[in-house]
């Protein structure tokens, strides 16, 4: 068996795993969810973290290390190895399609952070209509930009940077980058949080909006749905990158404490830093949260520029804010790219450089519809299916494979192998019964509440994109079949 790459240090692994999770979901999506629900959001959020997030991380780290033992990091071959059934490997193709599609539009949004960081230094968006500015930048009008060309140039630059890092490998590329990037990301976050807190008493209203619970809203099931959905985004579970990162662990490396370290760093960046910047700053300068603050990327790229414009040294702090978004997005994209790279390397013996080039080229091709048709609803539709619904599907398959097919006793032994701290035994029953039940309820709730509107309100552009998604799934099934035949040979 060909020797696979391994992580150089334990710290590098934790930074890489945390970098996969710490992204725009922490700094952009989390404040947006808080803006929708206020303090009533935090109680369901922490309950979902314990019953969904942490158990699923244990599942993904464990099956990933198990797959790495047999030379595989991608979900098709991990499932096939655990569940000796012809259909098993095809269940894993969602773990290849989901991250590559998310990366296809996530990379473009990440490039916005780099562009707006430059805009901040130059004062480009100062004295503009911020909504029109963002719309013009993304090709919605020609008020401030004659075309989408500038946005596209920044996007291509980010793609080339990603290709360079990925081509260097797990240890010399990803690990070396996150060892620099993660401390810098945390430093920038702390600088911004301290700046906002230093604004004075006016921010207390914003902090109260976040942390004073409205217990009457706890009976609102939609808040529980939002909180559970945020856990998937914030920990990046169900996207395929945690198992593949864990597959580069040694056979006796700890997979019990690692997810807790990853979760702690992620929650610090999200709950402490993420909640201390945008919403308190907006409350300080405007006194309220508007409906537009809860929509998409408006809070980060429309509301925050308005706030930054009013700050002392606004250009400097604006550049830090948007560069923070850029770094957070970049670490996540590296992780999203790795499952397909690992699939090509492990099963077709492609070199690291060739695999990285194929994956980045695929990201670029798949990004064209959501980028060029951003204002046609394509971006939101892909994000719903690949960035929301399929995350739950993949997670449900993972936990069934872990707890029911491999068997909870055998899986529990695997989880605690080499562990410096044994996982409390009551989590055995949470993973076997409560987590899959919650995933089924979550999947059903999204199917009832969101899926009908996405299906019924689709235009021709959206249907073309859905055709592309279906074609890619079929293509991945063919590649998986080919890989399984080579495995037998």
pLDDT, one tens digit per residue, over 291-338 is: 666 666 888 898 889 889 988 899 999 999 999 999 999 999 999 999
Please say if the pLDDT value at position 87 is more than 80: yes
Domain 10-488 in CATH 1.20.1740.10? The answer is yes
The residues, any chain, with a CB within 8 Å of residue 364's CB and separated by 6 or more, are 104, 159
Rounded Cα distance between 77 and 123, Å, is: 50
Of 384, 386, 382, residue with least CA distance to 374: 382
Residue 326 confidence (pLDDT): 95
**Domain limits, the chain:** 10-488
Distances (CA, A) of 383 to 18, 37, 95, 465: 22, 21, 15, 11
Rounded Cα distance between 190 and 268, Å, is: 10
Beta strands in 319-429 (DSSP E): none
By the 8 A CB rule, do 21 and 235 touch?
A: yes
Please say if the pLDDT value at position 481 is more than 80: yes
Residue 394 confidence (pLDDT): 93
Residue 113 confidence (pLDDT): 95
> DSSP H helical segments within 8-93, as ranges?
10-21, 24, 30-37, 42-48, 54-69, 75-82, 88-91
Please say if the pLDDT value at position 287 is more than 90: no
First CA to last CA distance, the chain: 13
- pLDDT band at residue 197 under the 50/70/90 scheme: confident
* pLDDT tens digit sequence for 125-183: 999 999 999 999 999 999 999 999 999 999 999 999 999 999 999 989 999 999 999 99
* Cβ-based burial of 287 (10 A; exposed 0-12, middle 13-18, buried ≥19): exposed
Q: What is the mean pLDDT of residues 395-416?
A: 94
Q: What is the mean pLDDT of residues 341-363?
A: 95
Please say if the pLDDT value at position 54 is more than 90: yes
The residues, any chain, with a CB within 8 Å of residue 368's CB and separated by 6 or more, are none
Rounded Cα distance between 476 and 390, Å, is: 15
Residue 489 confidence (pLDDT): 40
């Amino acid at each position: 068996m060909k020797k696979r790459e391994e992580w150089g240090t334990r710290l590098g692994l934790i930074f890489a795993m945390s970098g996969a999770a710490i992204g725009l979901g922490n700094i952009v999506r989390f404040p947006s969810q808080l803006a929708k629900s206020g303090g009533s959001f935090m109680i369901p959020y922490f309950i979902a973290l314990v019953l969904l997030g942490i158990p699923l991380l244990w599942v993904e780290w464990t099956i990933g290390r198990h797959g790495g033992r047999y030379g595989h990091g991608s979900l098709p071959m991990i499932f096939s190895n655990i569940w000796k059934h012809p259909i098993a490997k095809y269940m894993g193709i969602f773990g290849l399609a989901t991250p590559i599609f998310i990366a296809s539009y996530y990379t473009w949004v990440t490039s916005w952070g780099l562009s707006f960081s430059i805009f901040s230094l130059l004062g480009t968006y100062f004295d503009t209509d911020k909504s029109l500015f963002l719309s013009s930048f993304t090709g919605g009008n020609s008020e401030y930009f004659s075309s989408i060309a500038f946005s596209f140039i920044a996007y291509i630059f980010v793609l080339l940077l990603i290709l360079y890092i990925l081509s260097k490998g797990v240890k010399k590329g990803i690990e070396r980058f996150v060892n620099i990037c993660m401390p810098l990301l945390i430093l920038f976050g702390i600088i911004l949080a301290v700046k906002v807190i230093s604004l004075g008493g006016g921010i207390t209203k914003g902090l109260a909006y976040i942390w004073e619970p409205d217990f009457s809203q706890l009976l609102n099931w939609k808040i529980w749905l939002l909180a559970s959905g945020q856990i998937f985004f914030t920990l990046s579970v169900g996207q395929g990158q945690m198992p593949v990162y864990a597959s580069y662990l040694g056979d006796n490396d700890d997979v019990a404490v690692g997810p807790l370290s990853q979760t702690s760093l992620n929650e610090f960046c999200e709950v402490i830093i993420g909640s201390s910047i945008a919403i308190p700053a907006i409350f300080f300068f405007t006194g309220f949260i508007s409906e537009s603050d809860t929509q998409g990327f408006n809070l980060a790229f429309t509301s925050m520029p308005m706030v930054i414009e009013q700050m002392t040294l606004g250009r400097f702090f604006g550049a830090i804010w948007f560069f923070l978004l850029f770094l957070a997005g970049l670490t996540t994209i590296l992780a999203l790219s790795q499952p397909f790279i690992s699939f090509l390397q492990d099963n077709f013996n492609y070199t690291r450089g060739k695999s990285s080039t194929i994956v980045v080229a695929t990201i670029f091709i798949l990004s064209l519809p959501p980028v060029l048709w951003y204002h046609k609803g394509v971006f939101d539709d892909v994000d719903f299916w690949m960035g929301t619904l399929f995350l739950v599907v993949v997670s449900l398959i993972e936990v069934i494979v872990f707890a029911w097919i491999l068997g909870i006793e055998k899986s529990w032994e695997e989880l605690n192998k080499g562990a410096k701290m044994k996982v409390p035994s009551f989590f055995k029953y949470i993973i076997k019964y409560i987590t899959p039940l919650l995933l089924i309820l979550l999947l059903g709730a999204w199917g009832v509440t969101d899926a009908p509107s996405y299906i019924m309100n689709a235009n021709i552009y959206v249907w073309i994109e859905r055709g592309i998604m279906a074609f890619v799934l079929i293509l991945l099934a063919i590649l998986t079949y080919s890989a399984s035949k080579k495995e037998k040979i």
